């Protein structure tokens, strides 16, 4: 025997006592562009003296600073200290001060001179990778076809000094030091970041088999 089914929708009743509560909105402070600016300005840039940008020629330019190291800079420091000390001695010798005053002033000037000549010397470098060449400091050009797959690598200069490093590799049949990458301090990781960014740039621009360097 067939039965006729009739669907009855459920009834929804609204409690009018809750109307006031639903109408209320939580207080919210207006969000302005100044909040974004202050947040951006308060952030510290971890890339100290380091930048990686795209060039109009389609290349990747890396700008960084390293610490000047080596014998030539040590000689320059010694020469500067000697010249400044001689000037100080001559200046104090021509003065009419007592021996005690001359000694005190000389020690003060000698300490200031030592502080100046032992300061770290930072050198700015620029490495640009283009589709067919590498340009160092805007003037030294190395062609990708002569580098081949012997891409520049980060290498230590002295095993006893982990802070002295270079970017070097084989160019043609010659071993070439392209650029220095010395640490500025013990926490500086610019050499490692530089090496990784160079590898990435060369992989993008030189690692494509469809490129023609002829």
Q: What is the pLDDT of residues 110-146, one digit of tens each?
A: 888 877 777 788 889 999 999 999 999 999 999 999 9
Q: Do 128 and 162 have their domain in common?
A: yes
Taking 50 as the threshold, does the pLDDT of residue 211 lie above it? no
Residue 69: per-residue pLDDT: 77
Asked if the structure places residue 37 within a domain, the reply is: no
Residue 112: per-residue pLDDT: 83
Token pair of 137, please? 């400091």
Element (H, E) at 176: strand 174-180
Token pair of 142, please? 């190395």
> Could you give the 3-state DSSP secondary structure of residue 86?
helix
Q: Do 105 and 142 have their domain in common?
A: no
Q: Kindly report whether the global pTM for this prediction surpasses the value 0.85.
A: no
Q: Do 57 and 142 have their domain in common?
A: yes
pLDDT 10s digits, 3-32 = 666 656 666 565 566 555 545 555 555 545
Domain encompassing residue 158:
50-68+123-205
Give the count of domains, the chain.
Answer: 2
pLDDT 10s digits, 156-195 = 988 788 888 999 999 999 999 999 999 988 899 999 999 9
Q: Provide the CB-side half-sphere exposure for 27 (13 A, CA).
A: 1
Spatial CA neighbour of 198 closest among 124, 129, 125: 129
Taking CA atoms, 180 is separated from 51, 66, 67, 124, in Å, by 17, 7, 9, 10
> Could you give the 3-state DSSP secondary structure of residue 170?
strand
Distance CA 19, CA 74 (A): 82
Q: Do 153 and 176 have their domain in common?
A: yes
Question: Residue 181 forms beta bridges with which residues?
Answer: none
Q: Do 200 and 168 have their domain in common?
A: yes
């Amino acid at each position: 025997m067939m039965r006729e089914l009739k669907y009855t929708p459920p009834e929804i009743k609204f409690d009018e006592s809750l109307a006031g509560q639903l109408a209320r909105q939580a207080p919210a402070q207006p969000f302005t562009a100044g909040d974004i600016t202050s947040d951006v300005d308060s952030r510290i840039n971890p890339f100290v003296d380091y930048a990686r940008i795209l060039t109009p020629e389609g290349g990747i330019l890396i700008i960084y600073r390293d610490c000047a190291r080596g014998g030539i800079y040590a000689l320059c420091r010694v020469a500067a200290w000697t010249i400044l000390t001689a000037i100080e001695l001559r200046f104090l010798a021509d003065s009419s001060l007592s021996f005690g005053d001359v000694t005190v002033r000389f020690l003060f000037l000698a300490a200031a001179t030592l502080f100046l000549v032992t300061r770290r010397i930072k050198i700015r470098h620029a490495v640009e990778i283009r589709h067919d060449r590498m340009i160092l400091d805007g003037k030294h050009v190395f062609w990708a076809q002569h580098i081949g797959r012997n891409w520049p690598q980060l290498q230590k200069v002295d095993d006893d000094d982990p802070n002295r490093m270079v970017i070097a590799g084989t160019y043609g049949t010659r071993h070439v030091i392209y650029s220095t990458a010395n640490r500025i301090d013990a926490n500086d990781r610019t050499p490692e970041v530089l090496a990784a960014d160079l590898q990435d740039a060369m992989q993008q621009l030189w690692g494509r088999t469809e490129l023609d360097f002829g």
